[in-house]
Structure 1
Amino acid sequence: MGDVYYVDDLVVYADGAIKCEGTDLIDLAGLERRLTKGTVAVRDPGAQSSWGARYPEPLTPETFLLEVADRIEELSGRPTTAQRCHEAIRHYRQESTELGREALRKAYLAIPAHLRVYVLGDMERQDRPLRILLTDVGEPVDGDGPVVTEEMHRDVLEFFEEYDHGVTERPRPVYADDPAEAVPPPVVLRDVIYPRGWPEELDLFVLRNNYPAEVHFAGGTHPSVHEGYWTLAESHRGDDWSDVRLAVMAGLLRAKFTRHPDLAEILLATGNATISYTGNKESPYWRDAGSRGGRNWIGRLLELVRSELSWPTGE
């Protein structure tokens, strides 16, 4: 009998650890070895996938590895290949030069081949505007499509104008105390698991409540904000915890960043960006749940503490 393949989950962590085939943790190199040996396959070699025609190019072990690496980047809060491609589109719109078009071509080709079909999020166009723009004038698109003209390139730029901005919005009122510079994109604090331990190089993950940073608050010492909060919640007498919990969390966060200047620097480095605290463990009261709601109070309190750190003397 031949080898029997079965569908299994592949769990990818932000620190590059990968879990498959049981409980062993491997890395990208280990996954590559298993793909090469055939102990892991991207599809059952003996079966025909009805989804194969949906990909511009077939899924291969090499492109699968690239997709996993992309997922690690996303979990770590770093830009993915698709996000870099969108950034290259914006740069090209601002300055439509051959250098910009070449940079866009490299960014698009860096996306795993089997995913280069819905990068623009349009199922009907299937990235055709990008394919047209990245094809030189006088050459056929994809080798057998229409011959590209300068007018087609101009049409693509108009498409990107609509794609990037949509309907023209009414100008937002400017108030006297608004920041002079543009507000940066939101900072998203994801609930990331590091099975091999916290990274040595400090990054945004230190802003999470479960990061091990000792805090002194309310007469006690706690290993982290998370543990301090629940210790105080369990020891609280009375039925008004829901009324005081916001003040408790604010106090714990102030204690954390006052006691640890290196962590305060990470918080201050977020500038005046909105902080979105995501995850599934905390109540929606504390986290940003996207379209499902959520009050994002931890994110908002982090912004408050950041502002207080920026003006420590209150003068």
Structure 2
Amino acid sequence: MPDTTATWRTVDDDVVRGQQRLIFVRERDHHVLTTLRVYADGVVIWQWTSSDFDGLRAAFDDGTLTLAPPEDSEIIVSGTAAGPASLESWLAPEQVIADLADEVDRLNDRPDSSGRCRDALIAYAAEPSRSNLEIVRERYHAVPEHQRIYMLGDMDRNDVPVRILLAEPGETIPARRPDRTLTVTPRAREQALEYFRRRERGVAESRERDTADGPETAIAVPLQVGGHVYPQGWPDPPGLEVLQIDYPAPVVHGGREYPTVMHAYWALSTDDADWRDRIAAAVRGFDARVTAEKAPRRDNWPAVRLGVMAALLRDKFDRHPAMARRLQETGDARLIYTDGGPRYWSSRGTNWLGRLLELVRSELAGR
């Protein structure tokens, strides 16, 4: 794995995860050791520059960024040291860029280049066709070269089983030890195939143990909740619309009744009594949110807003059994809240509303 550490930044109140590593940036006649940060949304940042992967590649090309400054150039480690140094990097810029692209995949919970190659290897081991082998070849060469021995095998074999499969019978390839070679035979290819079959069986057994209490994730097909506007009135009878926080369903908080969860949430976001009354009196939930945008926020609102929303949703479904049944009818589906409001709550960001609805649904089922 590349030598990176976790980092993050906020975008519209959402936390965007990232990874960072050290890099040298050129400043006039010297180079400064700084951090190069990459985020799940593909943004790349160094010092005061925010860019993308194209910008990162251009910065390496023109010398703005470097892994090892030219010999005897002045380098500065801020607050620690300065002076000439002779450094040598075992990586090339393209390898670093490939590593960071893999980081973006992992930050988004997607298979990285090694994961995609492993998937292709398992498919080829199950069906050793020429077309499947070509997919393996393409994906193998997409894995950063310095990562292949760590990611596509084990400590004893490294990536030798993959290279055996990619070679032709009779071809000689380097063995695990650089001073040795091996000749690929049909038997060696079959052993390599069996190696990946055993690995897949081991993974399946491990997955079965890990999921003894049920699936690790919700079902693959999500349900879309929210984001629907009905100027002519809500559907009758309603469907998933009842799960929206602006659906007419009175809730009570602190002894006061509000027309909807949305009214209550935004009213509780301010300590100003007059603003709270105006928000609570809004005709629709949307109007309550728009009104609240002008109101002063409670000082501790970011710290308490998640708990407030959870309490309001619990109250809503406790008070309205038919709506609670509709929520439970969604089973264990992942609930994606598609709303045009704050990204914090919707699928455009961290989908906290969808996640809280799943929590309340589980609590209802547990009763």
What TM-score do you get using the length of structure 1 for normalisation?
0.55
Residue aligned with 1:123, SS: coil
2:115 to 64, 83, 96: 83
Q: Distance in 2 between matches of 1:15 and 1:130?
A: 32
Aligned to 1:16: 42
- TM-fit CA distance, 1:95: 0.7
- Cα pair distance change 1:184/1:167, threshold 3 Å: closer
Residue aligned with 1:8, SS: strand
Q: Distance in 2 between matches of 1:163 and 1:232?
A: 42
Matched-pair contact (CA < 8 Å) for 2:335–2:357: no
1:1-315 equivalent positions in 2, closer than 5 A: 4-22=30-48, 24-46=49-71, 47-49=86-88, 52=90, 59-120=91-152, 122-142=154-174, 145-166=181-202, 186=217, 215=245, 218=253, 219=258, 220-222=264-266, 230-231=304-305, 248=311, 251=314, 268=333, 302=358, 305=361
Q: Distance in 2 between matches of 1:37 and 1:167?
A: 45
- TM-fit CA distance, 1:128: 1.1
Which residues of structure 2 form unaligned runs of 5+?
1-27, 72-85, 227-243, 259-263, 270-288, 290-300, 324-329, 337-353
RMSD (CA atoms): 4.9
Matched-pair contact (CA < 8 Å) for 2:124–2:133: yes
Matched-pair contact (CA < 8 Å) for 1:228–1:252: no
Q: Which string of whole-angstrom CA distances, capped at 9 and with x for unpartnered residues, describes residues 261-296 of structure 1?
A: xxxx9x94689xxxxxxxxxxxxxxxxxxxxxxxxx
- Cα pair distance change 1:165/1:3, threshold 3 Å: farther
Q: Distance in 2 between matches of 1:18 and 1:44?
A: 21
- Cα pair distance change 1:308/1:102, threshold 3 Å: farther
The one of the two structures with greater contact order (alpha-carbon pairs below 8 A, sep at least 6) is 1
- TM-fit CA distance, 1:91: 0.7
Query: Residue type matched to 1:132 in 2?
Result: I
Q: Which string of whole-angstrom CA distances, capped at 9 and with x for unpartnered residues, describes residues 81-109 of structure 1?
A: 11111111221121111221111111111
Counting matched residue pairs gives 226
- TM-fit CA distance, 1:6: 3.9
Q: Distance in 1 between matches of 2:199 and 2:169?
A: 23
Q: Distance in 2 between matches of 1:71 and 1:203?
A: 28
Query: Residue type matched to 1:37 in 2?
Result: D
Q: Distance in 2 between matches of 1:15 and 1:303?
A: 27
Q: Distance in 1 between matches of 2:53 and 2:139?
A: 22
Query: Residue type matched to 2:59 in 1?
Result: R
- TM-fit CA distance, 1:147: 1.7
- TM-fit CA distance, 1:232: 7.8
Query: Residue type matched to 1:156 in 2?
Result: A
Larger % of strand: which? 2
Query: Residue type matched to 2:304 in 1?
Result: W
Q: Distance in 2 between matches of 1:168 and 1:31?
A: 39
Q: Distance in 2 between matches of 1:215 and 1:229?
A: 20
What TM-score do you get using the length of structure 2 for normalisation?
0.48
Matched-pair contact (CA < 8 Å) for 1:268–1:306: no
Matched-pair contact (CA < 8 Å) for 1:11–1:19: yes
Aligned to 1:191: none
